[in-house]
Amino acid sequence: MIVAESKPLEAISAMLQRYEKVLAVGCGTCVTVCFAGGRKEVATLAASLRMKRGIEGKPLEVAEAFVQRQCEWEYIEPLAEQVKKYDAVLSLGCGVGVQTLAERFPGTRVLPALNTLFMGLPTEAGVWEERCQACGACVLDKTGGICPVSRCAKQLFNGPCGGSQNGVCEVDKSVPCAWHMIWERADALGMTDALMEIEPPKNWASSRDGGLRRMVRDDLRTPTEDGGNE
């Protein structure tokens, strides 16, 4: 899932300084699961903002809205009429949600209430960890299902750096060394031979380094009248 966390109330409030009526929009997918942008978080943030602005003597009207997915046109379409009534939209979605709203409602200011952190999973109650950086060329087949791109601070492809000790990373002792895990797992599976091969330089063109990424599936595109795709 995409993991996000709330920006500090002060920062959100500062963004809304010039507005009197805002629409706070939650999202029912990833950010609900990581307790950052679900119905409950929308309600809590709205109440906090109203209270803060009330104390400051500049009352703020905060309406609450919720969609199942902020990252798809059809899910945000029902907001179209409502959005017109507000000075600004405060999105509690991830960065994709914020931009989908901004793209659909170009006449309205759309602001982010969250910081989008990473793609990962909850490893235990209250803890989320990164697992994927969407590099666009998965190497997990070669590394025993442990990703050196997202989990090694130096994105090494040929083994651990000299700072790996007792299974932890030199950058942060609370973080396991990805290459230590890769080695241990390969050892347990009797597959260390595969780690002796030199992995050549990665082609980062499929990662963010190649500019905006786009995936096209012709088999899924809607045919146009002239027989081409839309």
Does position 130 interact with another protein (CB under 8 A)? The reply is: no
Does position 156 interact with another protein (CB under 8 A)? The reply is: yes
Q: Are 70 and 100 in contact (CB under 8 A)?
A: yes
Does position 52 interact with another protein (CB under 8 A)? The reply is: no
- Measured between alpha carbons, how far is 130 from 121 in angstroms, rounded to an integer? 7
Residue nearer to another protein on the CB measure, 35 or 118: 118
Number of residues this chain uses to bind another protein (CB under 8 A): 32
Q: Are 210 and 204 in contact (CB under 8 A)?
A: yes
Minimum CB separation from another protein for residue 113, in Å? 24
Computed on alpha carbons and rounded to an integer, the radius of gyration of the chain in Å comes to: 22
- Contact pattern for another protein over residues 171 through 200, marking x by CB under 8 A: x-----x-xx--xx--x----x--xx-xxx
- In the numeric block, which tokens belong to residue 189? 């599976």
Residue nearer to another protein on the CB measure, 28 or 136: 136
182 CB-near residues (< 8 Å, 6+ apart): 143, 144, 146, 148, 195
Does position 164 interact with another protein (CB under 8 A)? The reply is: yes
Candidates 124, 166, 219, 222: give the one binding another protein (CB under 8 A).
Answer: 166
Q: C-alpha distances in angstroms, 42 versus 25, 62, 114, 174?
A: 7, 10, 11, 32
Q: For binding to another protein (CB under 8 A), which residues are involved?
A: 153-167, 170-171, 177, 179-180, 183-184, 187, 192, 195-196, 198-202, 204
